[in-house]
């Protein structure tokens, strides 16, 4: 314990409490390595380049000992026939009667997280997840029913880790709900796709403005595997939604889309890294959002293309609206390319609603508030077009209700 404490530089009260929590868990070499990776960085702060706009250390001076009474519904509750895994105060619960091709088992601790030094809070989640330490889900044949991961714990502090393995050529849809009424959480969700497997991943995030919330998705794509990701986020005191995609096999394909709506006192960070290591892989990314006075949004996207990843095609776009003065959007799109036969591009814009379009709608009888809401909804809807049909309209309706309230 003393050796781990020495890894922290001027530890905060929250970091010391996390160290104490680690000491209460069963000993495990994997847990130890993951916590060491976290401790070498500690809670990320503005002097850490990848976290310079999302200062967790400042947002979380100490661990909370209570949680607020606010609750949040999820549009995914209405999905007919979904297999729901609920992460709550009692750990993780799921149906006893699972369909053929779906095997679930629990482990006290999983293997150490590769590259954990780059993902300090994912490493923390892997180190401190318990009850179970790791939930393993093996998908050996296509499951028609979607899986719903509902991270809705009312514990003041929560850590979870779940690992999916999709066997060759299977297809799976997963919906993730990340809601918090205060407190601190770090959830780690890992997906490994064998050759030709297909994953649809759809996320919904909503929390109170005193919650510190981090969820990290790691997706590994073998040859011909396909990921289609979309989602909608509303932020919290500090929320970071991070996705990392690894193209391990030829011809893998990834779509990384998402939308956000951020009001005053809320912070939302959408960060991604896609590593192209094999030839003929493709990535498409589109993120769109809007921010009102006092809100802050962060977009960080990076495509890394290795020298042997020839014939890569990768397109990235981030576009945001500042609905009012006093909102803030920080964006950092990046390309790091070592191959010479590629088609890669990125784009980023931040602006305001079009006055001519507003005037046009006002002339047709809409109030200014309604016209602004209609235009903003149309703007972000493009980033939700890749969401599955059974939830796309529900996500747009969530956005619509938020916009009507924000503009009223």
Tell me, yes or no, whether 404 lies in a domain: no
Tell me, yes or no, whether 7 lies in a domain: yes
Q: How many domains does the chain have?
A: 1
Q: 247: exposed, middle or buried (C-beta count within 10 Å: 0-12, 13-18, 19+)?
A: buried
Q: Which residue has the tokens 């780690």?
A: 188
CB 192 within 8 A of CB 166: yes
CB 339 within 8 A of CB 306: yes
Q: Which of 305, 290, 301, 282 is nearest to 347 (CA)?
A: 301
H/E run at residue 350: strand 342-351
Q: Name the packing angle between helices 368-381 and 355-363 (round to 10°).
A: 120
Tell me, yes or no, whether 154 lies in a domain: yes
Q: Give the domain range for residue 295.
A: 2-355
What is the predicted pLDDT for the residue at 2? 62
Q: Which residue has the tokens 């401190």?
A: 128
Chain centre to alpha carbon of residue 253: 19
Tell me, yes or no, whether 8 lies in a domain: yes
Identify each DSSP E strand in 146-252 by its residue range.
Answer: 147-151, 157-166, 171-180, 184-193, 198-207, 212-221, 226-233, 238-247
The residues that bridge with 299 in the sheet, in sequence order, are 270, 331
Give me the long-range contacts of 17-26 (CB less than 8 A, separation at least 24): 17/62, 17/63, 18/63, 18/124, 18/128, 21/128, 21/157, 22/127, 22/128, 25/128, 25/130, 26/108, 26/109
> What is the block-wise mean pLDDT of the chain (408 residues), using blocks of 10 residues?
79 94 89 90 94 97 86 88 90 92 86 72 91 90 95 90 96 97 94 97 96 96 98 98 97 98 98 98 98 98 98 98 96 97 97 94 93 96 95 95 88
What is the predicted pLDDT for the residue at 114? 64
Tell me, yes or no, whether 28 lies in a domain: yes
What is the predicted pLDDT for the residue at 68? 78
Tell me, yes or no, whether 15 lies in a domain: yes
What is the predicted pLDDT for the residue at 393? 94
Tell me, yes or no, whether 109 lies in a domain: yes
Tell me, yes or no, whether 408 lies in a domain: no
Q: What are phi and psi of 115, to 5 degrees?
A: 70, 25
């Amino acid at each position: 314990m003393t050796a781990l404490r020495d890894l922290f530089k001027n530890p905060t009260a929250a970091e010391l409490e996390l160290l104490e929590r680690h000491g209460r868990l069963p000993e495990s070499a994997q847990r130890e390595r993951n916590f060491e990776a976290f401790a070498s960085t500690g809670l990320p702060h503005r002097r850490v380049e990848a976290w310079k706009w999302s200062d967790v250390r400042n947002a979380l001076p100490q661990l909370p000992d209570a949680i607020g009474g606010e609750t949040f519904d999820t549009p995914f509750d209405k999905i007919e026939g979904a297999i729901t895994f609920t992460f709550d105060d009692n750990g993780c619960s799921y149906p006893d009667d699972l369909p053929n091709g779906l095997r679930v088992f629990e482990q006290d601790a999983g293997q150490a997280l590769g590259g954990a030094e780059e993902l300090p809070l994912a490493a923390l989640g892997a180190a401190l997840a318990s009850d179970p330490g790791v939930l393993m889900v093996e998908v050996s044949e296509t499951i028609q029913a979607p899986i719903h991961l509902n991270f809705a714990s009312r514990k003041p502090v929560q850590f979870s880790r779940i690992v999916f393995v999709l066997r060759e050529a299977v297809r799976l849809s997963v919906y993730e709900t990340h809601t918090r009424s205060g407190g601190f959480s770090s959830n780690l969700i890992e997906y490994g796709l064998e050759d030709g497997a297909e994953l649809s991943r759809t996320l919904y995030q909503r929390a109170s403005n005193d919650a510190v919330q981090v969820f990290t998705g790691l997706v590994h794509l073998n040859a011909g595997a396909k990921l289609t990701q979309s989602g909608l986020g509303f932020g919290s005191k500090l929320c970071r939604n991070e996705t990392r995609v690894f193209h391990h096999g030829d011809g893998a394909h990834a779509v990384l889309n998402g939308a956000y709506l951020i009001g005053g006192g809320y912070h939302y960070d959408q960060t991604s890294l896609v590593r192209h290591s094999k030839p003929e892989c493709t990535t498409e990314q589109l993120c769109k959002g809007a921010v009102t006075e006092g809100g802050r949004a962060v977009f960080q996207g990076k495509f890394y293309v290795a020298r042997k990843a020839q014939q890569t095609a990768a397109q990235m776009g981030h576009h945001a609206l500042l609905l009012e003065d006093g909102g803030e959007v920080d964006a950092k799109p990046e390309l790091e390319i070592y191959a010479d036969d590629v088609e890669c591009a990125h784009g980023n814009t931040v602006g305001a609603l079009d006055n001519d379009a507003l005037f046009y709608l006002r002339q047709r009888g809409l109030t200014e508030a309604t016209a602004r809401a209609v235009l903003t909804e149309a703007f972000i809807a493009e980033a939700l077009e890749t969401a599955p049909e059974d939830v796309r309209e529900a996500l747009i309706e969530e956005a619509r209700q938020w916009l009507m309230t924000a503009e009223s």
